[in-house]
Chain A
Amino acid sequence: MKNAITESEVKDIEKLKPFKNNPKFHPPEQIKKIRESIRSWGFTIPILIDEESNVIAGHGRLEAAKEEGMLQVPVLIARGWTEEQKKAYVIADNKIAEKAIWDYDALKELLDDLDEFHIDLTGFEKLELDSIFFERQLGITDTGVEWQGMPEWDVESPAFRKMTINFEDEKSVSDFFELIGQDFTDKTKHINFPYKPNRNLKNIFFKDEGQ
Chain B
Amino acid sequence: MKANKFPLYIPTKGRFEYMITSKALTEMGLHHYLVVEEQEAEKYQKAIQEYQLTSEILVLDNQFKKDYELCDEYGLTKSTGPGPARNFAWDHSIKKGYEWHWVMDDNIKMFRMMYKATRIKTIARSIWTQMENFVLRYKNIGMAGPNYSMFAVPHKGLSPFVLNTRIYSCNLIRNSLSYRWRGRYNEDTILSLDLLKAGWCTVQFNMWMQDKLNTQTIKGGNTAEFYHKEGEVLDGHRYAVTGTSAKSDMLFKVHPDVSKVKIKYGRVHHQVDYHLFKKQKLILDENNKISKTNKNYGIVANDPNLLSEIK
A115 to chain B, nearest CB (A): 19
Q: A135 contacts B160, CB within 8 Å?
A: no
Residue in A127, A143, A205 whose beta carbon sits within 8 Å of that of B160 in the complex? A143
Verify if A134 is at the interface (C-beta below 8 Å from B): yes
Tell me the total A-B contact number using a CB cutoff of 8 A.
Answer: 157
Task: Report chain B residues within 8 Å CB of A157.
Answer: 117, 154-156
* A139 vs B279: C-alpha distance when bound (angstroms): 5
A77 to chain B, nearest CB (A): 29
In the complex, given contacts A136-B140, A143-B163, A151-B296, what are 4 additional A-B residue pairs having Cβ atoms less than 8 angstroms apart?
Answer: A25-B73, A141-B282, A152-B295, A155-B155
Q: B199 contacts A134, CB within 8 Å?
A: yes
Residue in B161, B198, B279 whose beta carbon sits within 8 Å of that of A131 in the complex? B198
| Closest partner residue, chain B, to A126 (CB atom) | B178
Q: A149 contacts B295, CB within 8 Å?
A: yes
Interface string of A144-161 (1 = CB under 8 A from B): 001111111111111000
Residues of B within 8 A of A (CB): 1-2, 29, 69, 71-73, 113-118, 120-126, 130, 134, 140, 154-156, 158-161, 163, 178-179, 194, 197-200, 207, 253, 256, 278-283, 291-303, 306-307, 309-311
Q: B123 contacts A206, CB within 8 Å?
A: yes
Residue in A138, A199, A206, A208 whose beta carbon sits within 8 Å of that of B280 in the complex? A138
Task: Report chain B residues within 8 Å CB of A156.
Answer: 117, 156
Residue in B1, B292, B303 whose beta carbon sits within 8 Å of that of A148 in the complex? B292
Verify if A194 is at the interface (C-beta below 8 Å from B): no
Residues of A within 8 A of B (CB): 25, 27, 29, 98, 126-128, 130-131, 134-141, 143, 146-158, 199-201, 203-211
Task: Report chain B residues within 8 Å CB of A148.
Answer: 292
Task: Report chain B residues within 8 Å CB of A130.
Answer: 178, 198-199
* A11 vs B73: C-alpha distance when bound (angstroms): 28
Task: Report chain B residues within 8 Å CB of A203.
Answer: 302-303, 306
Task: Report chain A residues within 8 Å CB of B158.
Answer: 155
Task: Report chain A residues within 8 Å CB of B198.
Answer: 127-128, 130-131, 134
Given contacts A140-B279, A146-B282, contact A151 B155 (CB under 8 A): no
* A98 vs B281: C-alpha distance when bound (angstroms): 28
Q: B29 contacts A206, CB within 8 Å?
A: no
Q: B295 contacts A137, CB within 8 Å?
A: no
Q: B126 contacts A208, CB within 8 Å?
A: yes
A205 to chain B, nearest CB (A): 4
Q: A127 contacts B121, CB within 8 Å?
A: no
| Closest partner residue, chain A, to B126 (CB atom) | A208
Residue in A131, A141, A204, A210 whose beta carbon sits within 8 Å of that of B302 in the complex? A204
B32 to chain A, nearest CB (A): 17
Residue in A29, A134, A155, A211 whose beta carbon sits within 8 Å of that of B125 in the complex? A211
B218 to chain A, nearest CB (A): 22
| Closest partner residue, chain B, to A150 (CB atom) | B134
| Closest partner residue, chain A, to B291 (CB atom) | A149
A155 to chain B, nearest CB (A): 4
